[in-house]
A and B are shown apart, each in its own frame.
Chain A
Amino acid sequence: MNTMIGNDTLVSLGVGQRGVVTALATEGIGRRRMLDLGFIPGTIVESVRRSPAGDPTAYFIRGVMIALRSEESSKIFVNPV
């Protein structure tokens, strides 16, 4: 697995595209929440649907669908796969 941390975040994944989480820039209690939702380095995430307004976006991760605002998804680094 490529574990280099690049500049791509979840925001840069197009709908239908998948990526592997490499790092989280989220801090404090928000970081805890992201980890609890399953955004752990090494996890595969798929961008599934973007709301008409462009935000939030639904991601498929570890068996469930989770919607994130770009405020949160822009802090989750991924390598597209």
Chain B
Amino acid sequence: MGLTYQSSGKGALREDYLNYNVKGDYVIALAGNPNTGKSTVFNALTGLKQHTGNWPGKTVVQALGNYKHGQKQITLVDLPGTYSLLANSPEEQVARDFICFAEPDATVVVVDATCLERNLNLVLQVLEITHKTIVCLNLMDEARRKKIRIDVPALANQLGVPVIPTAARNGEGLTLLKDTINSVAADKTELTPMRLIYDASLEVAIRELAEELDPLLPPQINRRWIALRLIDGDYTVIDGIRKFLEKKMVKEVFAS
């Protein structure tokens, strides 16, 4: 055992985060603000094939479901509805740790087309963690009724990830959403996620800290994001890392 991190295969932590033996091809996370239609999308995609329980160590409800699309078996994880991934309620920690540490093959952020601006805060926070993101622009029927028009290609262009308009309650847009999930999960969609640039001094600090973190973290963990959290004084992220690393190290010690 050296001091550097050795990877022991993709998604080894999923089970730890899910209390569930994941089979199939892809694991997809569903995130979003409260009341944007996540569960409606989840139910429409998975039907009644659901497994519910609690997140390990938390009293936050966890729902998992499966579906098949384009020859792929997909596990969908309905994350708790949150306005943020950073304010550290148990729900936010669950959503954040899952997106950051459990390596979903794609994260779908369900947003409310009738109050898009508010919802984009979470989209940007997710993009800061993972580029494998899809925006599900839900409640399009409501937006049309309220005469709200959204320039979807411009939005997708600016965010640098796919934006799929849907009205999940009547099934509108869900086939395209499933196609897009498969494409992003298989790395077949070009992604150029919008990146938030901070003050020059902060950018220097982020780069220096990220470099120091580099040998300590598993390869797929986003160093920039971890550095940002540490600079923010958010030590709950260390708990996540510790949980992640110690479990992996124990596995490696027993394996060697």
CB within 8 Å of B: which residues of A? 29, 32-33, 36-38, 62-64
Contact = CB atoms under 8 A, between A and B. Distances in A.
B96 to A, nearest CB: 12
Interface stretch (B22-30, B79-87, B150-158): B79-87
Given A36-B84, A36-B121, A38-B118, 5 more contacts: A29-B87, A32-B84, A36-B86, A63-B114, A64-B115
Interface of B: 83-84, 86-88, 112, 114-115, 117-118, 121
A69 B114 CA distance: 27
A33 B87 CA distance: 6
B84 A64 contact: no
A36 B117 contact: no
B236 to A, nearest CB: 10
B83 A37 contact: yes
Contacts of A36: 83-84, 86-87, 121
B118 A32 contact: no
Contacts, number: 25
Q: For chain B, what secondary structure do more than half of its interface residues adopt (helix, strand, loop), or is it mixed?
A: mixed
Interface SS, A side: helix
A33 B83 CA distance: 9
B87 A64 contact: no
A26 B214 CA distance: 34
B118 A63 contact: yes
A6 B121 CA distance: 27
Contact of B88 (A29, A37, A38, A64): A29
Nearest to B233: A28
A62 B117 contact: yes
Contacts of B86: 32, 36
A62 B83 CA distance: 12
A32 B118 CA distance: 15
Contacts of A63: 112, 114-115, 117-118
Q: Which of B84, B87, B115 has the most CB of A within 10 A?
A: B87
Contacts of B114: 63
A29 B121 CA distance: 16
B144 to A, nearest CB: 16
A19 B112 CA distance: 25
B115 A62 contact: yes
25 contacts: A29-B87, A29-B88, A32-B84, A32-B86, A32-B87, A33-B84, A33-B87, A36-B83, A36-B84, A36-B86, A36-B87, A36-B121, A37-B83, A38-B118, A38-B121, A62-B115, A62-B117, A62-B118, A63-B112, A63-B114, A63-B115, A63-B117, A63-B118, A64-B115, A64-B118
A64 B121 CA distance: 14
Contacts of A32: 84, 86-87
A13 B88 CA distance: 29
Contacts of B118: 38, 62-64
Contacts of A64: 115, 118
A63 B86 CA distance: 21
A63 B118 CA distance: 8
